[in-house]
Chain A
Amino acid sequence: NAGVTQTPKFQVLKTGQSMTLQCAQDMNHNSMYWYRQDPGMGLRLIYYSASEGTTDKGEVPNGYNVSRLNKREFSLRLESAAPSQTSVYFCASSEALARANYGYTFGSGTRLTVV
């Protein structure tokens, strides 16, 4: 019963370093998403992938890039980490993008600190 798996669970980066957050789902979902969660701000969408081979910007895409490697995997890359990117990152997936009538499934999160 894996669902959505995120790695790593915790990470500390120095300002300017790069890293990739990994996400994989085993539910054969078409759509995948990256959110960040910050105190007082709630969850905000960074990027999403409606289907394999497509990606689009969400509400807060600056400083991030994504890759939909295949139907199962969707990665988030920080090219030059900044303290403002300290956050908890969640990956999610859903059956379909439009009229997502089947709900979303979330991973357990990656807690990233940039010093």
Chain B
Amino acid sequence: KQEVTQIPAALSVPEGENLVLNCSFTDSAIYNLQWFRQDPGKGLTSLLLIQSSQREQTSGRLNASLDKSSGRSTLYIAASQPGDSATYLCAVINSGYALNFGKGTSLLVTP
């Protein structure tokens, strides 16, 4: 069974810092990996989708990388802002049907 781990579980940084969120998975035979953002009491918003054949994806201040062979992905957030405060979830899909989620990293960006 695919296991997805996100480190750290919680992170607090001052505004303006660049930061990295980590995601690791045990089964490297994935089709794609998706990063989501979840605000308190809200649903999941898709941030970036990386296909298995890709190494990275970028959207604005966000950059996600994928290293299938080592079972790792990182989400890089540049010049963090208080509005970036949220929980960030990593999810992978293998040959089956379900997204396998990590438990998330709770990010707080302080002014």
Q: What is A's interface to B at a CB cutoff of 8 Å?
A: 31, 33, 40-43, 45, 48, 50, 56, 58-59, 90, 92, 97-109, 111
Contact = CB atoms under 8 A, between A and B. Distances in A.
Interface residues of B, number: 23
Contact of B43 (A56, A98, A101, A108): A108
Contacts of B31: 99-101
Nearest to A106: B44
A109 B43 contact: yes
Most B CB within 10 A of own CB, among A50, A90, A104: A104
Interface in B41-58: 41-46, 49, 51
B43 A59 contact: no
B99 A31 contact: no
Given A59-B98, A99-B31, A40 B44 contact: no
A43 B6 CA distance: 14
Contacts, number: 60
Contact of A33 (B34, B49, B95, B98): B98
A109 B44 CA distance: 9
B43 A97 contact: no
Contacts of A41: 103
B101 to A, nearest CB: 4
B52 to A, nearest CB: 9
Contact of B99 (A40, A50, A104): A104
